[in-house]
Amino acid sequence: MQPQIILLKEGTDSSQGVPQIVSNINACQAIADAVRTTLGPRGMDKLIINDQGKATISNDGATILKILDIVHPAAKTLVDIAKSQDAEVGDGTTSVTLLAGEFLKEAKPFIEEAVHPQIIIKAFRKAATEAVKKIKEISVRINKSDPKEMRQLLEKCAATSLSSKLVAHQKDFFTKMVVDAVMLLDELLPLNMIGVKKVTGGGLEDSVLIAGVAFKKTFSYAGFEMQPKKYTKLKIALLNIELELKAERDNAEVRVDSVEEYQSIVDAEWKILYDKLDILHKSGAKVILSKLPIGDVATQYFADRDMFCAGRVVEEDLKRTMKACGGSIQTTVQNLSPDVLGSCETFEEIQIGGERYNLFTGCPQARTCTIILRGGAEQFIEETERSLHDAIMIVRRTMKNDAVVAGGGAIEMELSKHLRNLSRTIAGKEQLLMGAMAKALEIIPRQLCENAGFDATNILNKLRQRHAQGGIWYGVDVLNEDIADNFENCVWEPAVVKINAITAAAEASCLILSVDETVKNPKAQQDGPPGGGMGRGRGRPM
């Protein structure tokens, strides 16, 4: 009998070889199944309740996978690519997960028949490169110099992104808003210059876009009622200073022997505060914003002098005001020269729903805007925000790179055809593998059909025929249960979304195919000395 060799600690869980790859593939398919039904304009939404009982309704692949809290190590890869797709391009997160799941599904029979994973990986990489090349070749460039054409293009891309969301009914309304919002930004299109605020109540269509900074009125002390609520052509002081009486006393320990001494300290405190307020008043600023609290004495002081103040302004809002209106945030009042003050055309405090909002418009420096979302349930507004985020990202992407392709499965069908034709020119196993990849790409139109309740086989056959005849932009027409030229129907998507999705999905599936062993160390013993479970490899005796 052979002696048994013990290599790993007792309790180590290790599995390897073909069954391991197949089990990883199965896990990834389970992930793809979780988001499958959300794809496309007729996709369903998911309601997820987390461990704290918070409910989220979402249609966004990345959001769903993030909340699901997946623990399977291989399946986590898919969650990661969905997240990175979200960060890179902002849309196409469901597509990327589905594609990766489908690539793996097509690879499974080969693995089971003992084709070496490296051969599959090589073929998949090649196919992905070819697909990307093809997208670049056929994507349509739009003339950027014509503002009208550009705007049309942007609206179409935003509309395609929104048509698969909960807010699809208000698509036209939000499309305009999103494009306006992005158009208000400057060259670099910084995302953080679009503020999104949510106010429950009212209808979705009561949402407004404000060309400037807006934030919820902060907590105010008595006296604010007397402050004016509207100015034009004003100066703004941005502070990080506490304008409250108690402030100085808390900074040090003071010992006093008599009432007079105490009184002099109190007087000094008042004087310090009043000196600050006087300087602020003299600086010519009409609106005083501070990150720290502004107390009742200061509030009253400003009210008496026809000035407005707001304390405890959220840092993000304060920074956005600074970027928009100019000036800089001051930590002392000593050098309040005119150039550190911001300025804008109008300041106004208005009522939106049950909340009061401070608005700054006509800002000279950077270009910024704020979307104030209205709507019934909180979850609904949150999903609206996520949908708008996708659309905003798409519009930004399109403004930066102006190539588009037709969506609704059109581009995927064309790529599928291209790869299938290409595979016929290759000899050996690679031919079959590239064919498998071509088949996998059909998952997007197939799922779009299935989610809309159409006969997928029928429609896919029609699409294959049409593409073979040269109709490169034919895709699923979700309104008429048929196929249609989606380029003419204006179902457009930026080419970069598709390029990123295919590359990321191919990379992820190659990664999963290349793992043939998982070793899981046993859990550290509970009652050992602290850190004792680390054992080997840490310079400890074995």
Residue nearer to ligand ADP on the CB measure, 369 or 483: 483
CB of 116 to Mg ion, least distance (A): 36
Q: Which of 56, 77, 163, 283 binds ligand ADP (CB under 6 A)?
A: 163
Please report whether residue 448 would count as binding ligand ADP according to CB under 6 A: yes
Q: Quick one: which H or E segment has residue 538?
A: none
We find the least distance from the C-beta atom of residue 159 to ligand ADP, in angstroms, to be 8
* Binding partner selected for residue 387 from Mg ion, ligand ADP, none, CB under the kind-specific 5 to 8 Å limit: none
Give the number of residues in contact with ligand ADP, rule: CB under 6 A.
Answer: 24
Contact by Cβ (8 Å): 534, 444? no
The DSSP result for 316-364, as a single string, is HHHHHHHHHH---EES-STT--GGGSEEEEEEEEEEETTEEEEEEES-S
Residues between 31 and 90 with contacts to ligand ADP, criterion CB under 6 A: 38-41, 43, 59-61
| Residue 445 CB, nearest approach to ligand ADP (Å) | 8
Should residue 388 be labelled a site residue for ligand ADP when binding is judged by CB under 6 A? no
Q: Could you tell me which stretch among 7-15, 86-94, 333-341, 345-353 binds Mg ion (CB under 5 A)? A: 86-94
Does residue 91 bind Mg ion (CB under 5 A)? Answer: yes
Reported residue count of the chain is: 542
Query: Rounded distance, CA 408 to CA 418, Å?
Result: 17
Q: Which residue's beta carbon is nearest to the bound ligand ADP?
A: 407
Give SS3 for 385: helix
**What is the C-alpha to C-alpha distance for residues 358 and 136, in angstroms, rounded to an integer?**
46
- Segment (H or E) for 315: helix 315-325
For residue 31, list its beta bridge partners: none
Q: Is 491 in the site for ligand ADP (CB under 6 A)?
A: yes
Binding span for Mg ion by CB under 5 A among 89-97, 140-148, 237-245, 278-286? 89-97
Pairing of strands 46-49, 55-58: antiparallel
- 327 token code pair: 């000036």
Whose Cβ is closer to ligand ADP: residue 61's or residue 342's?
61
Q: Between residue 427 and residue 446, which ones bind ligand ADP under the rule CB under 6 A?
A: 444
Spell out the residues 6+ positions from residue 458 whose beta carbon is closer than 8 angstroms to its own.
none
- Specify the DSSP class assigned to residue 376: S
| Closer CB to ligand ADP, 156 or 291, in the complex | 156
Whole-number Å distance between alpha carbons of 176 and 471:
31
Residue positions annotated with a catalytic role: 60, 93-94, 390
Q: Which DSSP symbol is given to 1?
A: -
Cβ distance to Mg ion smaller for residue 93 or 509: 93
Q: Which helix (H) or strand (E) holds 175?
A: helix 171-183
Q: Which residues bind ligand ADP (CB under 6 A)?
A: 38-41, 43, 59-61, 91-95, 160, 163-164, 407-408, 444, 448, 476, 478, 491, 493
Q: Which residues bind Mg ion (CB under 5 A)?
A: 91
